[in-house]
Structure 1
């Protein structure tokens, strides 16, 4: 995120608080009550955002993690494409051997 984006988001949240405040006053709340409720709405929104952020961080479902996975997949795909047919057959035979060994261990 760029610095200007963070400034824009902060300004947007500040303006949203002001809009909530004015709207609540227009609905008939006193100045003090409108201030309390507009703050409560903004704090509630912040808590919801924080919970969603933590959920994405804990499940590693964030942009960086996705970019890293895509990069690793692309590198592996490029390496596979560069293998000669003989090397590819050898690799497939090794994988089959490991699968047989792994399935033999799980049956025991």
Structure 2
């Protein structure tokens, strides 16, 4: 995330908080109550965002993990493509031999 993106998000949250405050005042709450409820809504939103971040981090469903998996797959595919047919047959024979010893 770029710095300008982070600043845009902060500005957006600030504007949403102000709009929530004004909206609550239009509904009929006084200034103090509207301020408390708008802050409560922002805190609940923040807790929800942190919870979703934690859920993605625990589930390894984040951009970093996906990029790393894609890189590893491309790396191993490139290495596999570089192998000669004889080397590939030798590796396949070794894998088959390991499978047979594990099933016994």
Task: Identify the TM-score tier after normalising by the shorter chain.
Answer: over 0.9
1:89 is matched with: 89
Q: How far off its partner does 1:59 sit?
A: 1.6
Equivalent position SS for 1:33: helix
Q: CA RMSD in A?
A: 0.7
Structure 2 runs not aligned, ≥5 long:
none
Aligned to 2:24: 24
Which residue of the partner structure matches residue 2 of structure 1?
2
Render the CA deviation track for 1:52-93: whole Å, top value 9, x for unaligned. Answer: 101111121110111011000001001111111111111111
Mapped partners of 1:38, 1:101: distance in 2 = 65
How far apart, CA to CA, are the structure 1 residues paired with 2:103 and 2:70? 29
For 2:13 and 2:79, the matched residues in 1 are separated by: 47
Taking structure 1 as the reference length, the TM-score comes to 0.93
Q: Deviations over 1:30-64 (max 9, x none)?
A: 11111011000000000000001011111211101
TM-score (norm 2): 0.97
Give structure 1 regions of 4+ aligned residues with deviation exceeding 3 angstroms: none
Aligned residues: 104
Q: Secondary structure at the match of 2:54?
A: helix
For 2:83 and 2:89, locate their aligned partners in 1 and report how far apart those are by CA, in whole Å: 10
**Equivalence map 1:1-108=2 (5 Å):** 1-104=1-104
TM-fit CA distance, 1:102: 1.8
